[in-house]
Structure 1
């Protein structure tokens, strides 16, 4: 880079409140006021936050969401290379955590641009902290597959996970997901459903997965949902029935387009059983449907 070329700018990932706008830290307000470019998941949501914080940004606002993230990233990198200070915000929480941002971070790093963050609220850590479940070791699994087959397969892979697990879920899929979790992890596995965290109608429902699945199925669930599930007790894996093994194989065939032999091998590896035992379970399931 010669002396006549502009120095690379700075990419700032700025965490926004997950519920109450008044939770916004002073540094977030400063970054929004002084940024050259604000890339935001929802311009309407950002303008509301700006009004609450009494901020008139000097820079321009650009929409940056899942549908245009790939196309808009090169433009933002060009802004950064021209010396701009680009701030990325999402509707709530930290950018790139199940939200837009990762592609831009990767592209900025590749281009040699410095990346920093304004720390802010995270639904993952907030739910984990209030769940009452172990927090010393945990993993974030994001959203489960929408279709039942894919969801069943993913949960089977996690059935022996010893760490506390954190999931995001849509309200209309919560009951089905909890029921599938109860089937995969055992109905007595402890969990917590965290709804509308930090908002006026915050609700945290703790209990066994079977109990929570029934609760979700009985009422209308609304709002942002985070589910925290306790990890498996070491050496206490649940033994799957032949029917359950066959269902896992069929789900892999349907969701992943695998051949029967491949699906059996994957299920066997995930549940720690010989391939022959899983094969026999599939044969038994096929025979039962012909009776």
Structure 2
């Protein structure tokens, strides 16, 4: 990489979530050419830069100081931004810096690199063709209950972050809304010496980590199975639905498939479909 653009420019630079060897060559070069490095924690970022042999001015831009972003961009036109770990803009204030740069018509570049939730999702062994990233759940109140209910209801896998001291409580809450046997995994300390991925049911994982745990945590929760009731949703009136479809001239096979798609067990759906078509 050369000296980089002379005009104003913002780079979002991923940093390792654990093993410092996960920094990319491009990330190192950007950190070297930037006018300054903005970060959440100047001490932590300073240690990383020292490890890389880089000396750049450090500017604190975290959730409490991000309102200063326009002034920082004016003082340091070519600004690199890093979070404490991983890709900036994911569950940290980096997204606000992007908005400030876009408002000022400053080009923004996001470098590919380390993140925690993708490796944890793959390690879980759960379906990952479609998934929802929840970030951190609210700590309490109605919003937490609503988000937990959303996790329980959605058919795709959910990935979320959690702090070590709240992990057991969150797993217990998830088991309460998703059901005790819902499959999940907990990954902690990714790429570090004590990396661990535990797989099992939400209830089993809550018991396993009930005594406490250390490290950065990623929880992956399986989606709602086909036919599993949606929490808080009343069971459909299958008989009424079947009668309506029979009245429309639908055959037993089609009615059975429709009932099964609505959550009725196959045997029950077959019996009901036969009954309403014979009655018709």
TM-score, length of structure 1 as denominator length: 0.74
Contact 2:153 2:231 survives alignment (8 Å):
no
CA distance in structure 1 between the partners assigned to 2:35 and 2:198 by the alignment: 43
Contact 1:185 1:238 survives alignment (8 Å):
no
- Give the aligned partner of residue 263 of structure 1: none
RMSD value over aligned CA atoms?
A: 2.0
- Give the aligned partner of residue 62 of structure 1: 59
CA distance in structure 2 between the partners assigned to 1:171 and 1:41 by the alignment: 20
* Displacement of 1:152: 2.7
3-state DSSP of counterpart to 1:16: coil
- Give the aligned partner of residue 43 of structure 2: 44
- Give the aligned partner of residue 118 of structure 2: 125
The change in CA–CA distance for 1:212 and 1:148 in structure 2 (over 3 A counts) is: farther
Give deviations 1:105-164, integer Å, cap 9, x for gaps.
012112221111221111111111111111100111011111265433321133211111
* Displacement of 1:8: 4.8
Please list, as runs of the form range in 1=range in 2, the aligned pairs for 1:230-269 lying within 5 A after superposition: 230-238=222-230
The change in CA–CA distance for 1:42 and 1:99 in structure 2 (over 3 A counts) is: same
Runs of at least 5 residues in structure 2 that lack an aligned partner in the other structure? 1-5, 235-280
1:110 to 82, 90, 103: 103
CA distance in structure 1 between the partners assigned to 2:106 and 2:70 by the alignment: 13
- Give the aligned partner of residue 154 of structure 2: 161
3-state DSSP of counterpart to 1:140: strand
3-state DSSP of counterpart to 2:174: helix
Contact 2:17 2:190 survives alignment (8 Å):
yes
Runs of at least 5 residues in structure 1 that lack an aligned partner in the other structure? 1-6, 243-291
CA distance in structure 2 between the partners assigned to 1:199 and 1:206 by the alignment: 19
Matched, 1:193 2:186: yes
- Give the aligned partner of residue 73 of structure 1: 69
* Displacement of 1:166: 0.5
CA distance in structure 2 between the partners assigned to 1:183 and 1:15 by the alignment: 36
* Displacement of 1:240: 5.3
Matched, 1:21 2:26: no
3-state DSSP of counterpart to 2:153: coil
Matched, 1:174 2:170: no
3-state DSSP of counterpart to 2:209: helix
Give deviations 1:214-254, integer Å, cap 9, x for gaps.
1121x221111110011112332256599xxxxxxxxxxxx
* Displacement of 1:35: 0.6
Count of aligned residue pairs for this structure pair: 230
Query: 220-229 or 48-57: which moved more?
Result: 48-57
Matched, 1:140 2:133: yes
CA distance in structure 2 between the partners assigned to 1:105 and 1:190 by the alignment: 36
- Give the aligned partner of residue 92 of structure 2: 99
Contact 1:14 1:88 survives alignment (8 Å):
yes
CA distance in structure 1 between the partners assigned to 2:213 and 2:123 by the alignment: 19
CA distance in structure 2 between the partners assigned to 1:64 and 1:33 by the alignment: 19
CA distance in structure 2 between the partners assigned to 1:235 and 1:110 by the alignment: 47
* Displacement of 1:26: 1.1
